[in-house]
A = this chain, B = another copy of it.
Amino acid sequence: MSFAARARRLSETANITIFEKGLFIGYANCGIPYALGGIIQSDEALILQTPESVNARYNVNVRHNTEVVGINREKKTIDFKTRDHPVRSVAYHKLILAQGAEAFRPPMKGSDAPNVFTLQTIPDLTAVKKYMSTHGSKSVAIIGGGFIGLEAAEALHALGKQVSVIEYMPHVFPPVDQDVAEPLHTEIRRNHVSVHLNARIQQIVPAAEGGTTSHILLESGGKIPGDVVLLVVGVRPRVHLAEQAGLETNRFGIVTNAQMQTSDPDIYAVGDMACTTNMITQNQQNLALAGPANRQGRLAADHIFGRDVAYRGNVGTSACKVFGINVALVGPSMSNLRAQGIEAEYVTVHPPNHAGYYPGATPLSLKLAFSPTDGKILSAQIIGKDGVDKRIDVLATCITAGMTVYDLEHLELAYAPPFGSAKDPVNMAGFVAANVLRKDTEIIHAEDLTADTLSEYQVIDVRAAGEYVNGHMKNAKLLPLNELRKHFDEIDKSKKVLVHCQVGYRGYLGYRILKQAGYDVYNLDGGFKTVSQGAFNDLIA
């Protein structure tokens, strides 16, 4: 649709036809989980365009319920069929493949049962809704804890269903790191939705004859109720037609150049089916995001109508609301960077979203990855209540601009008490990261510690006594920051010191004091808060 609209704006005389296998064009599939739960009250609200409206406004011919079954690149024709007509052919000058991706259905015993659904299209939505209402389904098991699974969990819980999320990985929302994702588990469970991690499904056990209660059997023996089962474990590019036509593909989708042309220059591929370049890693990737898809369609039209354009690649900016918490990222997580062999350092900060003295301030956790050589920003992961999407968009802009952590120190962001702080969380992350690169502080990450290695350090907790008693690190000695200068006699100069506070700042002050006093000292990145959020329980006393 982005292609068609832009193409028509550039040419009133072009003959533009859209072939759509199903009934719907131009609908908002990002809204489907919300329509399932009634947060979006009418399914029709998702339908942004109809064949009629598109034709009236853009003079574009829409053939819906029409499947394209073949491409003849030599003759430059496509073959299509409808329910009522056998295969016919039509010629093209330029062909745009915008078939998207399809919900992945992993091989799984019982996954063909009538109570198992994917949730990608309006027909999917309609089918699940109809099944739930016909069968009076009380429980829903959601297989997959990604975007759709988490959004659906919230929506179905709001409908009063008993909801379970089943995730194969050690944490939900796999695009982010374990330590970033941990608060999601707490939030989901706090809302009485169960979460099963590292879960291996043995089978989906269908309802007994005439019954409506089904369940999922885990390899561990666990049984998870699932009158309805949603299979939302990601999507795969629809490459079948392109492969049949001999277009180049790889494991990320259809290979395209910067003009979105496939290996056949008269055929373009855009959106979820196209393989594109990650702007940060320069690696190929498949990205199923609406924003890039829209821009690719627009860009293909520009190119066909003679504009000098180039797609710059993606940074992978995304966000997800999970009950009262928002999580967002741009760029590859630390584990993803490591998997790609990209050298990266990171820092974690936990500042409030706006001035702490103004009512309603809530903390953010921001994990910023950057190049240890030149400070270039590689990725950011943020979790919190308000202001998460703002900071991820600012950092996505920084990454796109090729900025470094030093640039973040200078960034001038809006501050009034309801909106931010004189030092915005983005500035704070920049300060901390730049301190690390300038060696004004040396940090240790919780993930690099174990209960064993922790004993190699003198662990100095510089928080107040009241914070210490509410939970502290193993072997930690309490020495509140304001007392630290008076108690050097209690710290052994021959042994490494691990100093820490709640979120990192007082630990940093403690580091500066001890370092200048001649200690071999390290500050714990993200402080006790990072340790206490679930991923590092073995470090807690």
Q: A: which residues have CB within 8 A of B?
A: 8-13, 28, 30-31, 34, 39-40, 45-46, 48, 53, 56-57, 59, 147, 151, 289-295, 312, 314-321, 326, 328, 330, 355, 357-359, 389-390, 392-394, 396-398, 400-401, 403, 407, 409-420, 422-424, 427, 440, 481-482, 485, 508-509, 512-513, 516-517
Contacts and interface: CB of A to CB of B under 8 A. Distances in A.
- Stoichiometry, as copies per complex, reads 2
B423 A12 contact: no
A57 to B, nearest CB: 5
A528 to B, nearest CB: 19
Given A11-B516, A31-B357, A291-B422, 20 more contacts: A9-B509, A12-B513, A28-B417, A30-B415, A34-B358, A39-B358, A40-B358, A40-B417, A53-B482, A312-B410, A314-B412, A317-B413, A317-B414, A318-B414, A319-B416, A319-B420, A330-B414, A396-B411, A396-B412, A401-B407
Given A12-B516, A392-B414, A482-B56, A357 B422 contact: no
Contacts of A400: 407, 410-412
Contact of A389 (B291, B392, B420, B440): B420
Given A401-B403, A509-B57, A291 B412 contact: yes
Contacts of A422: 30, 290-291, 293-294
Contact of A512 (B9, B330, B397, B482): B9
B414 A393 contact: yes
16 contacts: A9-B512, A11-B516, A12-B516, A28-B355, A28-B357, A28-B417, A39-B358, A56-B482, A57-B481, A59-B485, A290-B415, A317-B415, A330-B412, A392-B414, A393-B393, A401-B403
Contacts of A328: 414
A394 to B, nearest CB: 5
Contacts of A355: 28, 30-31
Contacts of A513: 12
A355 B389 CA distance: 14
A424 B30 contact: no
Nearest to A294: B422
A513 B58 CA distance: 10
Nearest to A513: B12
Contacts of A59: 485
Contacts of A9: 440, 508-509, 512
Contact of A357 (B40, B423, B485): B40
Nearest to A415: B291
A31 B355 CA distance: 9
Given A393-B413, A412-B314, A31 B358 contact: yes
Contacts of A11: 516
Given A320-B416, A412-B317, A394 B397 contact: yes
A427 B317 CA distance: 14
Contacts of A10: 440, 512
Contacts of A482: 53, 56-57
B40 A415 contact: no
Nearest to A314: B412
Nearest to A28: B357
Contacts of A357: 28, 31, 40, 45-46, 48
Nearest to A435: B9
A527 to B, nearest CB: 16
Contacts of A12: 512-513, 516-517
Given A12-B512, A59-B485, A401 B397 contact: yes
A410 B423 CA distance: 28
Nearest to A329: B414
Contact of A39 (B359, B403, B481, B517): B359
Contact of A319 (B8, B319, B410, B419): B419
A477 to B, nearest CB: 19
Contact of A292 (B293, B317, B397, B412): B412
A409 B318 contact: no
Q: Which residue among A12, A48, A59 has the maximum number of chain B CB atoms within 10 Å of its CB? A: A12
Nearest to A485: B59
A407 B310 CA distance: 12
A417 B312 contact: no
Contact of A424 (B34, B291, B326, B394): B291
Given A394-B397, A412-B396, A423 B291 contact: yes
A34 B517 CA distance: 43
Contacts of A291: 412-413, 415, 422-424, 427
A309 B217 CA distance: 62
Contacts of A293: 422
A403 B412 CA distance: 15
A423 B294 contact: yes
A495 B57 CA distance: 25
